[in-house]
A and B are shown apart, each in its own frame.
Chain A
Amino acid sequence: MGNTLAEKVWDAHVVRKGEVQGAESQPDLIYIDLHLIHEVTSPQAFEGLRLAGRPLRRPDLTIATEDHNTPTWDIDKPIADLTSRTQIETLRANCKEFGVRLHSLGDAQQGIVHIIGPQLGLTQPGLTVVCGDSHTSTHGAFGALAMGIGTSEVEHVMATQTLSLKPFKTMAINVEGTLKPGVTSKDIILAVIAKIGTGGGQGYVLEYRGSAIRALSMEARMTICNMSIEAGARAGMVAPDEITFAYLKDKPHAPQGDDWDSAVENWRTLRTDDDAVFDAEVSLDANDLEPFVTWGTNPGQGVSLSQAVPSPDDFADENDKAACERALEYMALDAGTPMKDIRVDTVFLGSCTNSRIEDLRIAADIIRGRVKDPDIRMMVVPGSARVRLDAEAEGLDQVFKDFGAEWRFAGCSMCLGMNPDQLAPGERCASTSNRNFEGRQGKGGRTHLVSPVVAAATAVRGTLSSPSDLDPLPPASTGKPDDVVVPAASNAA
């Protein structure tokens, strides 16, 4: 019997097999190829090293950036919030002391930790990648085994470059067919989570497969893998292919010369064997998929945009029923309200889920030549300083500014309420981020998770919308020769 992609990557990183004791085997000791660090989950780990008198074993496999706490305005001024500033300064001191490469605020490579790994070409097929952040699953889009870890494990990796891990089960997520225009990889993953639930992936590494996945760009694959954790999975993966290799070629840290050929030869073996068996399989038809949005307070509480807010009576399970009731109260929604009638206050385009250049292009193509709803605040936050520069080179910043959106500097921003970008109590947001938990975007804030396509259309109409709900543009006013109102989202190779 053959092996799955996840098993192949795992097997190539076993430093020491766990001994079998009684009915259960001990964990395997797994080597870590790339350790990403940021300011929030690292200070206590560095302190642990210091107290134990241990060095950081492999600074050359470690890289740090500043993202969670950092403001997205006035980045040339000292950080106003003192505790945030202290945490950032602590990271800078720790990186200096332990010899870790750091991309600080203001640096062209600074940005969300899961954006900079791929952009620098450090994220590659077949690697084991970890970070003290659950959205590390993003890097699985390259066929890497990438996992979020806690601070104790961060310290463990710093000291040993390994982790003690129990082998995971494997789950195939088969997505066959062709996405309709205006439907993106974000809609795929929101539909997957709604289908298997926030606990459906517990104990599993997910592998996204099928013709719809193969057709996706790297950016779109990263969006899917990013939210694997929202289904409870430890990691999500896509087997590398020509699209992966083309993305990596000539990235700063991609292998060069003969090394490139050796690497690609190895990467081509990183696919699930035809006779391999997954522990579980789930299938989704891409042809049927519509834009998907959440109504509740966990990412599994979602429906198609054309549907209505569900009622607690729609759920058989007592816990689900209670969760629905609580969510409707928090979200101030009535069962039966069409999703498209829900009016929002803010549109947030950003986060490690959807802040790459392709996401900005998709949104810009929809709003170009259109007028923003006057009551909507729209924030556009590129995932990294590099993405921001690239977008400006293409003139996307001007499209957003002309539309009346805020064009900000890179960071985690409004995805999580720990920097100045937050929702006010009761404020409702259409957000391209990954979590709609109570208070996630600011105390009392109400979050609807959406794709960049839905975010852009919502900013025009004021209520949750897809581009098909917008009035067509007069051909002359677009400023673009080929008037593509709805881009073939996320399908570009």
Chain B
Amino acid sequence: MEKIIKHSGIGVPLRQSNIDTDQIIPAVYLKRITRTGFEDALFAEWRKDLNFILNRSPFDAGSVLVAGPDFGTGSSREHAVWALKDYGFKAVLASRFADIFRGNSGKQGLIAAQVVQDDIELIWKVLENHPGTEVTVDLQDRTVVCGSVTAPFQIDDYTRWRLLEGLDDIGLTLTHEESITEYEGSRPDWKPRTLPARS
């Protein structure tokens, strides 16, 4: 995975709470078997409305999404993160994220930056009054800057470290393979196995 330290890009204010992953990417796009090429699927239903923010310049070139609380609720589909990334988003700012979405973001190098709602409101105002303003998300310092607004954000230490170092999760875990094998030796015999099949 690519290392991420800091990103600056046009901020997109999306004044809505509870943006679930069915809105981020409708289920019909989940039939694909590839990991890329989901940019057309991002907010597919909402983008049919010509006034939707991503259909308006300069927001269509945005890379930092600034959303309402409880972003990414619902389905665990990682496709939501892929679609945001494929479209060009590098970071999402919100006061609360659904746990699975936050986890998926960390795996894919999308920064899910938790910013308190009061600061989100200030950033929304800057972006609405001055469309095209860039938002800088600094993972090293855990701060976001947008116009005159500077705000701290939360991201857990482990995710931040992995993103800063660009580390592959599976590779990291497999350095502990001996511990896994040792644990497997201690599991009780009565624990279920799917094979051989019984029915």
Contact = CB atoms under 8 A, between A and B. Distances in A.
| Interface-central residue, A87, A152, A159, A229, by most chain B CB under 10 Å | A152
Interface stretch (A126-134, A352-360, A465-473): A126-134
Interface string B176-199: 110110011001111111110111
B96 A29 contact: no
Given A152-B108, A437-B74, A29 B28 contact: no
A232 B17 CA distance: 14
Contacts of B15: 322
| Interface-central residue, B22, B33, B81, B198, by most chain A CB under 10 Å | B33
Contacts of A440: 22, 27
B28 A418 contact: yes
A133 B18 contact: no
Contact of A83 (B32, B173, B192): B32
Contact of B31 (A87, A164, A262): A87
Contacts of B184: 31, 161
Nearest to A148: B76
Contact of A438 (B45, B104, B198): B45
Interface stretch (B56-64, B65-73, B133-141, B144-152): B65-73
Using C-beta atoms within 8 Å of the partner chain, give the interface range for chain B.
Answer: 35 or more
Given A62-B194, A84-B31, A152 B78 contact: yes
Contact of B192 (A149, A155, A232, A253): A253
A255 B190 contact: yes
B98 interface: yes
| Interface-central residue, B75, B81, B172, by most chain A CB under 10 Å | B75
Contacts of A31: 180, 183-184, 187
Given A202-B99, A439-B45, A121 B33 contact: no
B6 interface: no
B73 A232 contact: yes
Given A150-B81, A160-B180, A234 B99 contact: yes
Contacts of B74: 134, 229-230, 435, 437
A230 B99 CA distance: 12
Interface in A40-66: 40-41, 43-44, 47-48, 52, 54, 59-63
A234 B73 CA distance: 11
A480 interface: no
Interface string A68-97: 110000000000010110110010000000
| Interface-central residue, A90, A101, A109, by most chain B CB under 10 Å | A101
Given A59-B195, A120-B199, A435 B33 contact: no
Interface string A422-442: 000000000000010111100
Nearest to A323: B17
B63 to A, nearest CB: 21
A438 B98 contact: no
B156 A166 contact: yes
B157 A127 contact: no
Contacts of B75: 133-134, 416, 435
A307 interface: no
Contacts of B45: 438-439, 443
A69 B27 CA distance: 10
A29 B99 CA distance: 18
A197 B73 CA distance: 11
Given A153-B103, A262-B190, A326 B199 contact: no
B169 interface: yes
B77 interface: yes
Interface in A130-165: 132-134, 148-153, 155-156, 159-162, 164
Contacts of A260: 190
Given A83-B32, A162-B173, A418-B30, A108 B199 contact: yes
Given A29-B173, A61-B193, A437-B22, A166 B180 contact: no
29 contacts: A21-B157, A44-B34, A62-B194, A86-B31, A101-B194, A101-B195, A120-B199, A124-B191, A124-B192, A132-B78, A134-B75, A134-B76, A150-B78, A150-B104, A150-B107, A152-B78, A152-B107, A156-B173, A160-B173, A164-B158, A253-B198, A266-B188, A319-B69, A320-B17, A418-B30, A435-B20, A440-B22, A440-B27, A443-B45
Given A166-B158, A319-B69, 17 more contacts: A33-B191, A34-B194, A47-B33, A87-B33, A134-B100, A150-B107, A153-B104, A229-B100, A252-B199, A253-B193, A253-B198, A259-B190, A416-B27, A416-B75, A435-B74, A438-B23, A443-B45
Shortest beta-carbon contacts, A-B, top 10:
A152-B107, A150-B78, A150-B104, A259-B190, A43-B33, A418-B27, A148-B76, A83-B31, A24-B157, A134-B76
